[in-house]
Structure 1
Amino acid sequence: MATVTTDMGVSCWSLIPYLWQKLLAIAGLYSKVDVPSLPDAVIIDILSRLPADHVLQCRRVCKEWRALTSTACFAQLQLKRATSEILIGVLDSDLPRCVSVNHQDFSQKIAELNCWVLNSCDGLILGKRKIPSQVFIYNPLTQDEITFPEVFNECHIYGIYFHPVKKEYRVLYAFGHDQANYYQYSIANLPTFSRRPLSHRFYCCPPSAEATIASGNLHWMLEHRKDSSGNPVASSKMEKDDEPCANSILKFDIHTENFSTMPHPEWESCTGPSYGEMQLLQVDERLSVCHKRGYSVFLWTLVDYPNWHWIRRYKVNLRLDMQIPNSVRNSKVTFLWLKHDELVLHCQGESKFLVYNFKMLAYREIELSKNFDYTFYSHKKSLVSVRKQ
């Protein structure tokens, strides 16, 4: 098969009349002339620019198109060009569910699943059902699903990622050893579920939040323990007891499959641990930090990943800019999503989302049917399967 180049650009769109003529010829509605075949690379380049659900429809056109769009290489190419949707996890203990919505209209429901969402990667949802209790990976578009062995029901699952060298999906998880007071991390290769323990151990509970994926790696804010005097205690053997802010972000490198800890923005000027009010987000494929200090919210973006260089992009005052009541000052605010200069947040105890537009300097409210906790994920419709890569 010919090599696909991504710089063919807009010139491919000039071939649309040809493709229309080809479709008519295949359907027997056009027989004026014989329509020559396009090179495979051109067909792949055009079809990979379509949304994944449209590609599924194109597979019905002919066997040639079905074969070209059914390879793992095509799935990865289409994935790179796909746009993101918002996947909302509703943390309801009675009926856990996730809802896929349009990022510009939260009322436009695309799909719904009854599960807890643990992570989303490349169009694959890593989830957990309540009844029956099981962990699974599911592609909502292709409906391809793999159920985990029962042993995974009792462990902490922290993320799914694509290993760039082995070209396979893997799951990062941990088992707790209560008697030894540590958590052992391991990796499961998909789809065989062959398992391999990592050398690193955490001597307290691992991060409770879902992983934030940026630059292909997995990230968490670390929750540091405190001793009886209120001083921070290292939560892993990599950390120094007296520098919690310098080791506040845990990073898992998918290439080396090793852990490391990194500092949060402005950690040098901290007078004390300030990461408790920080949350990680993925913004435009980059790692970002939302930091709430009183009524003020600061948003930092990691612009230079190798050198770990942050810049402050936005600042908003919850009371002045969004007219949030005084009671929110000490309440929990969850930052859910930032895209197209709009920050979505949820205040604990409120049955609504607040959406602030940094360009318009205005906010709007999205009423919710009930007051639950929510998680947001960036999700792409894709043709990716964990069964073949």
Structure 2
Amino acid sequence: MTWINPISWASKLLRLLHIKSKTRHADLPRDIILDILSRLPAELIFKCQCESRPLQVLTTTPFFTHMQHQRSTSVIVVQLHSSEESPGSEFTKLCYMNKEFERIEEKFVRSLYTVRSSSYITGPRFLLGSYDGFLMFSDFRGLPRSFYMWNPITGEQLTMEDENIHVCGLYFNPVRKSHELLYYTTNDRAPFGQICNFGAYNLRTKIRRDVGGFSYPPSRHRPPVIIKGTLLYWMIDRSDILFSVNRVSHPPFSDSIMSFNIETEEFSTLEPGGPKYSTTEPGGQYSEEMLRIDQLHLSEMDGELCLCDFVSLNHHQLLLSIYNQATQCWSTRTIVIRPDYRLPFVPDWQTTKFIVEVVQIKDNELLLRQGNRLVLYDMISHACKISGIIGSMGKGIRAAVHAHRITSFHL
């Protein structure tokens, strides 16, 4: 790929911005200039912003950012955990891959390890997901709780580390017109029904506000599934720490999915589709069925909420249940995943509990992570494309589909 000098591009585009010309020849209309700019790679747009104040103003309007978001291309970001893949333990290696599983670019990211204190032993942050141009990382074990977000194009980043705060989602608030982080804190002294206090942190104003309490916390192992820009969905967190017998009872099956409405800031629960499981054995202990519920996770499919179930059927199959928000009904579809794969052993501290998970469902293609390899499954032809082993055997990977954007949470 030929490298383009952003300064030369900026000078040419600046000449086109003079709409009022003394000559009879009209310059290009502003909407055409915006259309041209929106088709450039996000990295080049950002370099043009740094070189030209008029271009910076032009390319930071809501109209332009929306157009650029619509046209931004996606890559598969894979985080490697093997020490063999990075020059030092303070670095984490990110690989950008296309749908052919070819490596486009590789980046070494510093400071993805949480701060170690004398009181707590912490571990590395793992790739949680991608939203609106930001990559999100979180630690799933240890204290203090850590959340990190970073825009690879603009370099903007934010770190939150607090043993009492659990960040569970990043979203854009259409009412306040700003990105926000949803978080919760636990309150041991609160009565049943109010054990979690939720708050929202506005990334532009740096102001926190209370958004109420709720009986259950959402799982922090996956980012929320955002439907139609206003509804956030998670599986309920059923960990031993938050749901011990001495504190609260395990939530029933009907409360397995948790939702948050951005506009009304109301919480609610939803019963999953597909087969039902008993949640506990007599005495409140975990049962085999309970552990199977804990492996379910959510995704988005054709603008609707999708429940991904690898455990209802045999190990060759994946069960997808789609929730229709208008009818409030689930429909079930079975997808056969081929070929078979023997998962390597991965220590708990190296990854989340999801050894197998759906990364994305889009345009009748299902991107699946199996241990340390990726599978692209065509839901129409049933053909599979396999990445092969990524990194080292016995070392887990994390994967997310990411679109390069020039989003800033300061605007």
TM-score normalized by structure 2? 0.68
1:137 maps to 2:157: no
2:404 pairs, out of 372, 377, 381, with: 381
Q: Do the aligned partners of residues 271 and 25 (structure 1) sit closer, same or farther apart at CA in structure 2, a change above 3 Å counting?
A: closer
Separation of aligned partners in 2, 1:327 and 1:61: 49
Task: Verify the 8 A CA contact 1:183 1:206 in the aligned structure 2.
Answer: no
Q: Do the aligned partners of residues 355 and 121 (structure 1) sit closer, same or farther apart at CA in structure 2, a change above 3 Å counting?
A: closer
Root mean square deviation, CA, Å: 4.1
| Secondary structure, counterpart of 1:366 in structure 2 | coil
Q: Do the aligned partners of residues 364 and 127 (structure 1) sit closer, same or farther apart at CA in structure 2, a change above 3 Å counting?
A: closer
2:234 pairs, out of 212, 215, 220, with: 220
Aligned residue number for residue 105 of structure 2: 110
Aligned residue number for residue 259 of structure 1: 267
| Secondary structure, counterpart of 1:47 in structure 2 | helix
Per-residue deviation, 1:342? 4.2
| Secondary structure, counterpart of 1:383 in structure 2 | coil
1:337-348 equivalent positions in 2, closer than 5 A: 337-339=360-362, 341-347=364-370
TM-score normalized by structure 1? 0.71
1:210 maps to 2:222: yes
Separation of aligned partners in 2, 1:134 and 1:326: 28
Per-residue deviation, 1:278? 2.1
Task: Verify the 8 A CA contact 1:183 1:202 in the aligned structure 2.
Answer: yes
1:162 maps to 2:175: no
2:319 pairs, out of 298, 307, 312, with: 298
Per-residue deviation, 1:83? 2.9
| Secondary structure, counterpart of 1:126 in structure 2 | strand
| Larger proportion of strand | 1
Task: Verify the 8 A CA contact 1:337 1:376 in the aligned structure 2.
Answer: no
Separation of aligned partners in 2, 1:85 and 1:228: 40
Match of 2:94, as an amino acid? V
Query: For this pair of structures, how many residues does the alignment match?
Result: 339
Q: Do the aligned partners of residues 57 and 285 (structure 1) sit closer, same or farther apart at CA in structure 2, a change above 3 Å counting?
A: farther
Per-residue deviation, 1:206? 4.1
1:36-75 equivalent positions in 2, closer than 5 A: 36-56=26-46, 59=49, 64-75=54-65
Can you give the 5+ residue segments of structure 2 that lack an aligned partner in the other structure? 1-8, 17-22, 84-88, 113-124, 280-291, 346-353
Separation of aligned partners in 2, 1:96 and 1:159: 25
Per-residue deviation, 1:228? 10
Separation of aligned partners in 1, 2:220 and 2:54: 47
Deviation readout 1:271-306 (Å, 9 max, x if unpaired): 64563442212345543222122222122344x334
Task: Verify the 8 A CA contact 2:375 2:384 in the aligned structure 1.
Answer: no
Q: Do the aligned partners of residues 249 and 376 (structure 1) sit closer, same or farther apart at CA in structure 2, a change above 3 Å counting?
A: farther
Identity value in percent = 24
Q: Do the aligned partners of residues 46 and 301 (structure 1) sit closer, same or farther apart at CA in structure 2, a change above 3 Å counting?
A: farther
Can you give the 5+ residue segments of structure 1 that lack an aligned partner in the other structure? 1-19, 28-32, 236-240
| Secondary structure, counterpart of 1:367 in structure 2 | coil
Q: Do the aligned partners of residues 251 and 355 (structure 1) sit closer, same or farther apart at CA in structure 2, a change above 3 Å counting?
A: same
Deviation readout 1:92-141 (Å, 9 max, x if unpaired): 796674625234133414353343334422102333599x9974432210
Separation of aligned partners in 2, 1:191 and 1:327: 43
Task: Verify the 8 A CA contact 1:225 1:233 in the aligned structure 2.
Answer: no
Match of 1:315, as an amino acid? I
